[in-house]
Structure 1
Amino acid sequence: MLKESDFPLSIQIKILGRIVQINAIYKSLIQDILDFFSINENEPKFWGTPDVQLFINSKHMSRYMFRSRMKNQFLEHVYFCDGLDTKNLKKWEFLTPPLPPFESSGFKNQLIAIHAGAISDQNKAILFVGDRGSGKTTLTISLANKLHYEYLTDETVVIQRHTDYVYSFPRLVLTRTSANIESVKNKYRADKLVPKINKTGAQVSQIYFLNPTSSQPVGIFKITSLEAILKLFESYRYIGTSIENSSSTLINLSEKECFRVSYTAGDFTSLKNAESLIYKNLIREQQ
């Protein structure tokens, strides 16, 4: 029978406004988690009563601790409980990952996600929405550095349901070694690539929808809320809240100032030209 005392190491991390307590056997796992979320070792280890606790009997993070899996793919040695209810440990059998534990009561039906990167300035969040391989990470990291904006996330934007509030969600940044979306990815802590990480969150101000094509020239175009809502629904990701329960939040986001950014797919020079247009547009907003 699994017991709390079997896990001598504990650390608390704040993820998306919630306190998650990690209970482990191996220091190497704790370090993997700190690196994954770009948390410094000298930051506070205990914040208060946890919203959820995870009990992980593994030496290192496996890929399915932070990404969804198929039914025939297994995640072993991970248990959880809500709050301090350690007498009722349950095996993590959800297809969604335990980090963050979106299916636990502290997260479920409270957050929505879209496939996007985000930076912020003066509590205003700028989103870059795009498919896999569209250049989200490149734009997010590069513009955060050029504009001296704060980094929120480069892969998944998480928003509090019924609001336009984007949470800080820094994780390991995975950069491709070529334009091929199947290419090997290099791994970096987010805090090693950007000047500053936003530790809390910001309100959505603008949304840029990345539109790599084979025919259109580089350009940036303001779009209607109707076009924006269609693209937002295409970019929705499940993290414990159904698309039906996410719809009002997505509709609200479509009313923000939204742009379509066109450039040549797989062409790094074309992507950088598009980045220049976004940069100029954001500089104008500051003036």
Structure 2
Amino acid sequence: MSDQMSDQQTVEPGSVPSAEAAATTLSPAAPEAPAAARATRRALRAVGRWTAAVLVFGGLGAGTALAITSAERGDVPGLATEGDGRWAYPKLSLPALPAGSPRPFTEANAAQIHHADLRELLLPAPARSTPDKELNGGWVKQERFLAEYRAEDRDELDQLLTDIPPRHIAARGWTMPDGTRARIYLLRFDSAGAVTDVQRELSIGVTMRWPLAGAEEVAFDTTWKSTRAVEGVASYVFTVKAPQGEEHLRQAYAVAGDTLALIVHERPGKAGAARIPFQQTVILQNQLLG
């Protein structure tokens, strides 16, 4: 499609004119429309052509694009699309803030503090999932978060979170019909600087000093192209290196101001945890934190 679209039809020599053009040719006595009316009709035709083009390209893009590029911050879509493996998440909305409290990544909030209830920033479970009774969207103890890591590393990680303690830890988990187990933890600290310190100690984005249990050998997921798709939120997405064991695990950390998120998808069998619903989960959780 060219960059510019003509608002008038031209008839090449020897070609057959359209029915509209023929009618005009056969009716020379018809009064000529005022210039303003002709301009209005041309504008409407141009708008119609551009609208059709937008709809066509929008329809093509909707089948392949994963990242949200133009969602209103108060109304995040669930990204449910039949046939491409995405999960049917409910329509999402940001929670209300206390009166006078700014969003985390605005000019009025230089400290990047999340003032909303941390539990309300957790991504809800998708349709057809079975909720985890232990990780039900409420507060969890530090020991439950540490249980995600290898037993031999938990004491060191526990000491880190004692030296730089999170104010709260909220978590939600569920299991899908295909056996995929999903878990999300949100850790809120006193400041964004504290999150940066924890990130550095965990070596997130470098070598993964303390890997998750069952994920001793991980690598960056090179298919992840939305590292900073949400303003203010940085994501680090990993997958277990091949050959994988009896279960395949995908994990991601999201650094969002005073909050650190851990997102895990785990599935038994050779098929492993699917990439598309995992990245969908990461993007939607980032939207709620951004």
Q: State the TM bucket, normalised to the shorter chain.
A: under 0.3
> TM-score with structure 1 length normalisation?
0.25
Instruction: Please tell me whether Structure 1 or Structure 2 has the larger radius of gyration of its CA atoms.
Output: 2
